[in-house]
Amino acid sequence: MKIGFIGLGIMGKPMVKNLMKAGHQVLAFDIIPTNLENVVSAGANGAASIAEVAKSSNFIITMLPNGPEVKTVVLGDGGVLENASSGTILVDMSSIAPGVAQEIHAACAKKGVSMLDAPVSGGEPKAIEGTLSVMVGGETAIFDTAKDVISAMAASVVHCGDIGAGNTTKLANQIIVALNIAAVSEAFMLSTKAGVNPEKVFNAIKGGLAGSTVMNAKIPMILDGNFNPGFKIDLHIKDLTNALDTAHQVGSPLPFTALAMEVMQNLRSHGFGQNDHSAVAKYYEKLTGEEIRK
């Protein structure tokens, strides 16, 4: 299948490469030339504009930072809807507010374009492996049509409900991840301050009830002092902002999410926004003057 792909950041580049490994032809675009050059050198075709992608593709994937960027790309001048043909399928794999996904979907429907909201979880490592978890909202028939393409980038592709359900599920995911990282940072600082080797604590508890995919992924990074991003604090702040805004709209309390947000905002104010979200541990290290290390 010929696929248009817009947005070639940390996640988009490996996603395009996995689509090509699965035998798809990809016409890609990004506003950053080096990002586009990266996937073109791997075999993708490069587009000069969003309009070119939309005119040349009847299956388009967007992978962008947040709702405003998706609205600009899809609804803006020279954007997808201005140039796409009726019958085009748009799969937005960005993590955005559910209400924004619903707004974009309504505009797409008026132009005869079908849309799925399909945010992902797994960060750069899973994007490279092609083992992302994808949470999808939209019409069942469109999901069934798109599932095989999405599966080229993923280990799990789950239809969660109507449009917006994908991003609601992603917000739930991001709340759990944020609170999990905060919990392990707090717990492993306790072991450090009490004089118990945190690596041994990790090995002792990872197979029990406290064990989690988050802990298995992030504690080795913290113990090594490696905070190079797979998923940046700045991006997690964006997701928690969307979670809190959505919670306010529907009347759902998120007190612990608000606390996690304050920790991440503090870290960003101290210049750590581009660090991996495992750098939540730095908040506790700053408070105590000690590091959680092997």
- Active-site option among 13, 170, 218, 232: 170
- Among this protein's residues, is 170 annotated catalytic? yes
- CA separation for the pair 214, 191 (Å, rounded): 18
Please state whether beta strands 120-121 and 132-137 pair in parallel, antiparallel, or not at all (unpaired): antiparallel
Backbone angles phi, psi at 116, to 5 degrees: -120, 140
- CA separation for the pair 104, 67 (Å, rounded): 9
- The one-letter amino acid code at 155 reads A
Say if CB 8 and CB 32 are below 8 A apart.
yes
- The closest alpha carbon to 170, from 66, 218, 98, 260, belongs to 98
- CA separation for the pair 202, 179 (Å, rounded): 17
- CA separation for the pair 153, 119 (Å, rounded): 12
- DSSP calls for 151-169: HTTEEEEEEEESTTHHHHH
Cβ contacts of 123 within 8 Å, gap of 6 or more: 11, 217, 230, 231
Active site residues: 170
